[in-house]
Amino acid sequence: MTGLLDENDVVQFRNIPFATIPARFKRSVLLTHFLDTDRNFTKRGYASPQAIPTVPDLFSGGPYPNESSTFQYSETECLNLQINVPISLLQSTHSKVPLLVYVHGGGFVLGKIDAQHSTHLMVSQSVSDNQPVIGANIQYRLGALGYLHTSTADSNIAMHDQRNALLWIQTFAGGFGGDVGRVTVFGESAGAMSICYHMMAPAPSTGPLFQRAVLMSGVVGPMTAPMPVKEAEKLCDEFMDSLGIKEKSEAGLEWLRILDVQEIVDKSSKLTEQGTMWIPTQDEEWFGKEAGDVTWDRGLELIGKCEWVDAILLGTTGFEGTTLLAAVAGLTPKSFVKGVADQLGEQSANLLKKAYKLSDSMDQNLFLTRAMEWIGDVVFSTPAHALCRHVSTSTNANKKIYRYIFDARNPFPGSPCYQHPHHWVDIYYVFKTFQFRYPHQRLKDLSTRHAQLWIDFTNGKSPWSEYRYDEGGNATFMIADEREGWIQRSAKQDENLCGRDWARCELLWESWKGMQGKWFQPLKIEPMRKSKVV
């Protein structure tokens, strides 16, 4: 195999195919050999078909140097991965080293392997710190191409793509010097939630796919719990209707398969703009017979019971709701409380009024701040807090948990979220790939330490003190702070310094109790029914 040796003495093996796609809406087939594969792995591969941004990524400061603002995609050749290996592992015999595998986010509709999200600088850092790791990035199908469910086609296609990528790593990573018994997966947002779906399912017959997990702003909760089959089939009918396909079942699928892939992407994206989320389905074949109905409240239990993961590192950013402002911009205190009352009942609405300090006469700007807190809590912060509480207190969850808050802000002028610790801002730090763009050394140090902590965890270490919910105000968080760097604080210290209030999340969780055992989406209150949420 020929890889690309970079200036950091890391060999990047790019565009390695890990599975084939026999047909649209069919599960991928794991590749178990290289017999028909070109052995030159120096160029980037195709991305999964997806909506192409019309403007550069303003959130990260604009176009990335030497990276094309456009990219090529292929429906049949998108299942590839990248392996980043210290050259020293390839030059002589070494003990096997652990693997750190990134599952990209993007709301289940966007994402690809690129220079910005590459693990190669993390690998270089691991060598400098004398605890080398091998890094990897994987791709999977997106939107309707990855998540459309019908009664006659394969289900949870994207999840099987991810599983095949991880199975490929189990099969071949040893040849690069990797220890397949020490695999850590990390993901952000939809990538982290994808890791949750793997943990909610039984391990493949060949054994565990990973032993440690890093969940960055992504724990499965009510908005992202697997969709019941009936709901998934309704979405399929809506999707076919939007394309003018009247036939159902296999006949309808045949029409879907002959359409140009861009039509599939465009209609998938249009539904996303109207509030649809492309998420996995409650499929017994994936989640197993014993799981039963995998409703939002059962996710914590299934993740906690996952026997093959021994430690979880998880956290959220300082203010998750910023990027979802458009979804709540049209709300008023009255319309919001009425929408919640209509969905959950008056008692739940009163709990939310208490949690977010709402009143009918409050200032509209202050209300929008509270609404952004609520939407960030619903999708990200409250499920994360609930999982931390469950794992640290349940006798059935035999695993360690480490909790963090990434409170550093977006450092790029011109970004819509400049100087804000918004959802996904940590992605601009952990890979070290944006350090050339930082205005201050302290941000570079924060970024380097971020990578080091994830590397420590991958090497089986405790990156900081365990989180223990029953310690109350003394429970330990690691905080990414621009002035102090990565620093441990107690929950009480953090509340006093930053005003963070986890009791708010607990009241929100309590407001959902009447929906236990049911599938519901808290953001689908009437005034927000068609709001985009990814």
CA 458 to chain centre: 18
Residue that is written with structure tokens 């929008």 in the block: 368
Highest mean pLDDT among 37-41, 322-326, 427-431: 427-431
* pLDDT tens digits, one per residue of 505-519: 999 999 999 999 999
Share of the chain above pLDDT 70, in %: 99
Residue 138 to residue 210: CA distance in whole angstroms: 14
Give the pLDDT of residue 481. 96
Give the pLDDT of residue 382. 99
Give the pLDDT of residue 250. 85
Mean pLDDT of the chain: 95
92 vs 329, which has greater pLDDT?
329
Residue 374 to residue 523: CA distance in whole angstroms: 10
- Residue 282, judged by CB atoms within 10 A of its CB (0-12, 13-18, 19+), counts as buried
Q: What is the mean pLDDT of residues 43-52?
A: 94
- Of 391, 331, 386, 389, nearest to 513 by C-alpha is 386
Residue 17 to residue 45: CA distance in whole angstroms: 9
**From residue 280, how far is each of 52, 224, 284, 431 by CA, in Å?**
23, 8, 12, 28
- Of 408, 515, 534, 503, nearest to 107 by C-alpha is 534
* pLDDT tens digits, one per residue of 99-145: 999 999 999 999 999 999 999 999 999 999 999 999 999 999 999 99
- Cα–Cα–Cα angle for 493, 403, 484, nearest 5°? 50
- Of 319, 109, 308, nearest to 194 by C-alpha is 109
Name beta bridge partners: 82: 137
Give 79's DSSP letter.
-
* pLDDT tens digits, one per residue of 267-313: 999 999 999 999 999 999 999 988 889 999 999 999 999 999 999 99
CATH of the domain at 448: 3.40.50.1820
Domain assignment of residue 486, given as a range: 1-534
* pLDDT tens digits, one per residue of 316-345: 999 999 999 999 999 999 999 999 999 999
26 token code pair: 């069919």
Give the pLDDT of residue 94. 78
- Of 58, 139, 105, 331, nearest to 214 by C-alpha is 105
Q: What is the mean pLDDT of residues 60-64?
A: 88
Of 38-47, 159-168, 367-376, 440-449, minimum mean pLDDT range: 38-47
Residue 65 to residue 53: CA distance in whole angstroms: 17
Residue 54 confidence (pLDDT) above 70? no
- Of 2, 18, 81, 90, nearest to 45 by C-alpha is 81
160 token code pair: 């099987």
* pLDDT tens digits, one per residue of 188-222: 999 999 999 999 999 999 999 999 999 999 999 99
What's the structural domain count of the chain?
A: 1
Residue 220 to residue 297: CA distance in whole angstroms: 9
Phi-psi region of 116 (alpha: psi -120 to 50; beta: other; left: phi over 0): alpha
Residue 106 to residue 100: CA distance in whole angstroms: 20
Residue 56 confidence (pLDDT) above 70? no
Residue 522 to residue 339: CA distance in whole angstroms: 10
Share of the chain above pLDDT 90, in %: 89
489 token code pair: 């604080």
Decide the pairing of beta strands 485-490 and 476-481: antiparallel
User: Is 386 in contact with 300 (CB distance < 8 Å)?
Assistant: yes
435 token code pair: 């350090």
* pLDDT tens digits, one per residue of 381-405: 999 999 999 999 998 888 999 999 9
End-to-end Cα spacing for the chain: 38
